[in-house]
Amino acid sequence: MLPKEFTDRMKKILGTEFDAFLASYDEVPNGGLRANPLKIHGAELEKLVPFELEEVTWCKGGYYYPKDARPGKTPFHDAGLFYMQEPSAMLPASLLDAKPGEIVLDLCAAPGGKSTQIAGAMQGEGLLIANEPYPARAKILSQNIERLGVKNAVVTSAYPDKLAERFPNFFDKIMVDAPCSGEGMFRKDPATISEWSEDNVKMCANRQWEILQSAYKMLKGGGRLVYSTCTFAREEDEEIVNRLINELGMRLVDEKVYRIWPHKDRGEGHFAALLEKSGEHCVTNVPQGINEECAEFSAFMAETLNTPVGGNIFRVRAELYAAPIAPSAFTGIQVVRNGVHIGTVKKNRFEPAHALALASRREDVKRTFELMDEQVVSYLKGETLPCNGVGGWTLVTYKGYPLGWGKVSGGILKNHYPKGLRWM
């Protein structure tokens, strides 16, 4: 049952369209996924997956999948070839239009749909900071960044005002997909209905304005910001945009806001606006660190890799990372992930991390093991496999796409697929 206060308001907004809007709640929500351009093009994904895909009009590489399909239960999901995402949620990052080499912030980033979409557009060049204040959600965000093989992202867990102190006038573009009252998700997630109230709408609007003031401080002059919500409430949408224009002097690009309606479009309710900050655009120098020497890792690279690992190489105890920005840039900020976790130094040897496999291409590694159709589930379950290849660390692939590591010895591929990710 939808709240009466909500339906009364929607009747006033929609008029003769209200009945169609109400009827849309009896329809099954659309399932969506988005190809990961860091690994695969949409046309290739269409041929690869065992079900039909239909394009989402507002997102290149975004698709609807059939209601009986289970994309998350395919090896291609584990390989990070796509991200499962509600179709309407693909609009804001499309509007942001991030470019390679830019410095971009996703301020309220968990679980990672918009961050990974932005990362795909950046093609590994530039810097993406994906922030989530709540540690448990930041961990999920970090896992999705890893699965999709993103190299140039830093995952932080800080409140917006804290980030604003550290990074004033720093970002070319900022995504603010703000916490909201969730009205647009009533069909997909009925539990949100019980949490709704008019007081909650007002509380969300106040919180959104606080978040946006911090975002504004971090945006460069001439920089662009996308503000988005999954609610219909004008207090959280148009009225917030008006405050950005009237109180902070921002400009609404193309002089319009964007809405997706469940009775008009194939998606849940969504709102988005693209705004630009006045002032002259400046160039930001991203702090670079000095690569730390590690004999064990150097030996591993020489023996195993065709392509050297780039970035700022730094070590935290036994763990080695390749970062897009020097760790010193985040003094006082909790960093969950800085770039790619390369691996672990263990008693004069080096063990590569799963993240390094997912951030690699098949041609980056000297030894690969291509799984047959009948072997892929066994590998994902953590089982050993017969292998006649040369001994040593080997990149395990399926249909040419990396899934993880194995180590060959005595005609056996020892499975190094992480225990926490293994199929049951």
Select which of 59, 108, 204, 230 is catalytic. 230
Catalytic residue flag (residue 230): yes
| Amino acid, single-letter form, for residue 397 | T
Query: Could you write out the three-class secondary structure of the chain?
Result: CCCHHHHHHHHHHHHHHHHHHHHHHHCCCCEEEEECCCCCCHHHHHHHCCCCCEECCCCCCEEEECCCCCHHHCHHHHCCCEEECCHHHHHHHHHHCCCCCCEEEECCCCCCHHHHHHHHHHCCCCEEEEECCCHHHHHHHHHHHHHCCCCCEEEECCCHHHHHHHCCCCEEEEEEECCCCCHHHCCCCCHHHHHCCHHHHHHHHHHHHHHHHHHHHHEEEEEEEEEEECCCCCCCCHHHHHHHHHHHCCEEHHHCCEEECCCCCCCCCEEEEEEECCCCCCCCCCCCCCCCCCHHHHHHHHHHECCCCCCEEEEECCEEEEECCCHHHHCCCCEEEECEEEEEEECCEEEECHHHHHCCCHHHECCEEECCCCCHHHHHCCCCEECCCCCEEEEEEECCEEEEEEEEECCEEEECCCHHHCCC
Residue 184: name the closest of 116, 92, 247, 100 by CA: 92
* Entry field: residues in the chain: 424
- Which residues are designated catalytic? 230
